[in-house]
Amino acid sequence: MTTVTSQNLLDVIKAYFASLGLEAEAGSYLTARNFVEGLVLKLPAVCLVPGNKPDHSRSKQTHIHVTGNNRYFFFPAAEVNRAAASSADQPQDLLVSEQNIAALRGRAVTGPGLSLRPSHTMKKIACRAAQETQVQISKLRADGRTFIDLRNSLYENDLLVFLKQRTGSAMFAVGIPRSFYEDRYVFQSDVYTGLESRGAVTVRNALAAVMEEYGGAAVVDSDDAISDAVYQELVAAAPRPGEIADLPVPYLPAHPEGRNTRTTRPPTNPVLGRAALIQCGYRCAADGGHATFLRKSGERYLEVHHLVPLEWQEAFLYQLDVPANLVPLCPLCHRLLHYGRMEEKIPILTRLYEARRERLLASGISITLEELLRFYE
């Protein structure tokens, strides 16, 4: 049994659509980018439409009562709590998947997409003497036809799930039959806030996975601008390292068969990049006065540059991905060294070289200024 939390509620709904053969369609729609909050109602007999109620139910009620904290899903908490009298019914825009209804009715499910249809349900705040203020949703005569079709397809203990969109006022409503979830999932609560998409591949969680797999010593093994951008993000995400001494590290070229022949960029260790940033006090090595900005994390944004360019690794016996060769730069200086004209690069390269010559030697990297400048032409 899987416990459902805000981290995997979207995955559960995706798994339901995947069971209908709509995995790709649901995967691109049901992400935390689109949805922020979910409400899972396990329908008791009393909340079903009359024709679907079991024989033992004598209830004539057709709307759905929403109580406790679940009430705040449909109305702001302050509005519910200060209500002194029942409000009028007001429409709540909903999106309902036609395939969801077809599947609940045992009909063939066909594409394209999730066939989302706009619909609505009526909602109101209901004040009853001596009872907690309620929220009621779904007035059968006033609700949108598609939503009524969905409710007509739900039986006791089926789930009616509402997902709140990140933008706009509409919600996605989905019915999940008891047969799908009851042997698989335990629902931790009714309301799930701060939804996450664990299944989705974002740059952030892809990088987190890389860091986890390589224990901080991740590699970026390609030679284009994308690989540099990924390297900078890996550096920022790398764990804080301790002191790292300048020592020669022999360079062992990868076996030709194990190598992607299209790349000239050898593997890099972002932990060393992070160490370089910390060591320089997060200041541009070309000019400590260069202004940058703070990352969302609060850390100053800088980029790490390999002074002796990595693409020349094959010309050296010792590794170029070592602290002595890692130079923190502000983004403008970094771009200049990669894309600028020689006359603007020379003064900066000269300064960086003078400052690093001893450390480079200690790391086994022997190079003259003239040789270095030639790498930048």
* Binding footprint of Zn ion on the chain (CB under 5 A): 284, 286, 290, 305, 330, 333
118 φ, ψ (degrees, to nearest 5): -70, 140
Q: Parallel, antiparallel, or unpaired for β 185-187 and 2-4?
A: parallel
**Residue 125 or 327: which CB sits closer to Zn ion?**
327
**Residue 174 or 286: which CB sits closer to Zn ion?**
286
**Contact predicate 13/25, CB 8 Å:** no
DSSP state of 239: P
C-alpha–C-alpha distance, residues 242 and 233, integer Å:
20
The amino acid present at 7, given as its one-letter code, is Q
Q: From the CB of 209, what's the least distance to Zn ion, in Å? A: 25
Q: From the CB of 312, what's the least distance to Zn ion, in Å? A: 13
Q: From the CB of 183, what's the least distance to Zn ion, in Å? A: 54
Q: From the CB of 267, what's the least distance to Zn ion, in Å? A: 16
Q: From the CB of 107, what's the least distance to Zn ion, in Å? A: 58
CB-based contacts of 319, cutoff 8 Å, min separation 6: 249, 250, 251, 266, 313, 363
Q: Is 291 exposed, middle or buried (0-12, 13-18, 19+ CB in 10 A)?
A: exposed
Q: From the CB of 337, what's the least distance to Zn ion, in Å? A: 6
**Residue 80 or 310: which CB sits closer to Zn ion?**
310
C-alpha–C-alpha distance, residues 193 and 163, integer Å:
10
**Residue 43 or 302: which CB sits closer to Zn ion?**
302
Q: From the CB of 318, what's the least distance to Zn ion, in Å? A: 19
**Residue 102 or 237: which CB sits closer to Zn ion?**
237
**Residue 80 or 329: which CB sits closer to Zn ion?**
329
**Residue 189 or 264: which CB sits closer to Zn ion?**
264
Helix (H, G, I), strand (E, B) or coil at 142: coil
CB-based contacts of 259, cutoff 8 Å, min separation 6: none
Q: Report CA-CA distances (Å) from 127 to 80, 133, 253.
A: 9, 5, 76
Q: In what order do the strands lie in the sheet with 159-165?
A: 64-66, 134-137, 116-126, 90-97, 171-176, 159-165, 35-42, 191-193
C-alpha–C-alpha distance, residues 149 and 143, integer Å:
10
**Residue 177 or 331: which CB sits closer to Zn ion?**
331
Q: From the CB of 109, what's the least distance to Zn ion, in Å? A: 51
**Residue 154 or 330: which CB sits closer to Zn ion?**
330
Q: From the CB of 306, what's the least distance to Zn ion, in Å? A: 6
**Nearest of 342, 344, 348 to residue 327 by alpha carbon:** 348
Helix (H, G, I), strand (E, B) or coil at 65: strand
